């Protein structure tokens, strides 16, 4: 399962890419707003220059023709952009138009298998089930990921699943076990994934044992 960062924060994206584990980014209007009053185009261009894989960039319009016009503008900002479009009737219409032109669409705000099936039929390259937000209303968000992955694989559909609205490391594990192609995760969750107290304890013990015998001599001459 590939990992994307769900953020518009340049420092966090740089760090994730430096670690060699982050290959894409998803943004949304809320995440961009967290960075203050920025120039959307410049920020997206900077993100695209840092990260190798797709950078999901959301349209703001609600009408299909306006979504298509926004998407056509957005994709001129960089080569590695996927356009994020909500799972609505207008969003499906826009997706089918854009997909015919080979433009990658990430169908976002997906909360049901029905929406995911339609996204795939319309030609979306990615579909993003929002796990945490379903959990928030007492539903089993991860079960939706399982259902979508099974559906797409049974019918051999090319659409990839991005497990989104990830809240904790257990979500990452479950998404991987479910067969999600990608999980888009907050920066904090990425840091939690690598952290383990036994790793810290182990490093200290190795250093203490070495130092007892070798003193402060390192490995390099």
**Active-site residue set:** 84
- Determine if 28 is a binding residue for ligand E4P (CB under 6 A): yes
- Determine if 26 is a binding residue for ligand E4P (CB under 6 A): yes
Select from 54, 134, 184, 189 the one that contacts ligand E4P (CB under 6 A).
184
Select from 45, 133, 168, 181 the one that contacts ligand E4P (CB under 6 A).
133
- Determine if 6 is a binding residue for ligand E4P (CB under 6 A): yes
Query: Smallest distance, Å, CB 49 to ligand E4P?
Result: 20
- To 5 degrees, how large is the angle CA 112–CA 114–CA 119? 100
The phi-psi region of residue 37 (left if phi > 0; otherwise alpha if psi is between -120 and 50; otherwise beta) is: beta
Under DSSP, the state recorded for 180 is: -
Q: How far apart are CA 142 and CA 140, in angstroms?
A: 6
| Region binding ligand E4P by CB under 6 A among candidate stretches 36-44, 124-132, 189-197, 198-206 | 124-132
Q: How many Å separate Cα 150 from the centre of its chain?
A: 20
Select from 165, 174, 182, 183 the one that contacts ligand E4P (CB under 6 A).
165
Report the residue number, 54 or 219, with the smaller CB distance to ligand E4P.
54
171 SS3 class? helix
Helix (H) or strand (E) holding 132: helix 131-136
Report the residue number, 143 or 210, with the smaller CB distance to ligand E4P.
143
- Determine if 82 is a binding residue for ligand E4P (CB under 6 A): no
The phi-psi region of residue 194 (left if phi > 0; otherwise alpha if psi is between -120 and 50; otherwise beta) is: alpha
Interface residues with ligand E4P (CB under 6 A) are 6, 26, 28, 108, 128, 130, 132-133, 164-165, 184
């Amino acid at each position: 399962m590939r990992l994307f960062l769900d953020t518009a924060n340049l420092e966090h994206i740089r760090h994730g890419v430096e670690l060699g584990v982050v290959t894409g980014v998803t943004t949304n209007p809320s995440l961009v707003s967290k960075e203050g009053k920025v120039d959307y185009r410049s920020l997206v261009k900077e993100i695209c220059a840092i990260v190798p894989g797709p950078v999901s960039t959301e349209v703001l319009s609600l009408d299909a023709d306006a979504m298509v016009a926004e998407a056509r503008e957005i994709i001129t900002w960089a080569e590695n952009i996927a356009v994020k479009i909500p799972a609505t009737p207008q969003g499906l219409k826009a997706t089918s138009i854009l997909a015919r032109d080979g433009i990658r669409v990430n169908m976002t705000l997906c909360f049901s298998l029905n929406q995911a099936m339609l996204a795939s039929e319309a030609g979306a390259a990615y579909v993003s089930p929002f796990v945490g937000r379903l959990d928030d209303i007492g539903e089993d968000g991860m079960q939706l990921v399982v259902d979508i992955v099974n559906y797409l694989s049974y019918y051999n559909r090319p659409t990839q699943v991005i497990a989104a609205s990830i809240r904790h490391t257990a979500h990452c594990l479950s998404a991987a076990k479910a067969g999600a192609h990608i999980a888009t995760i907050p920066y904090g969750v990425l840091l939690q994934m690598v952290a383990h107290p036994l790793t810290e304890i182990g490093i200290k013990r190795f250093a203490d044992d070495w130092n007892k015998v070798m003193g402060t001599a390192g490995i390099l001459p």
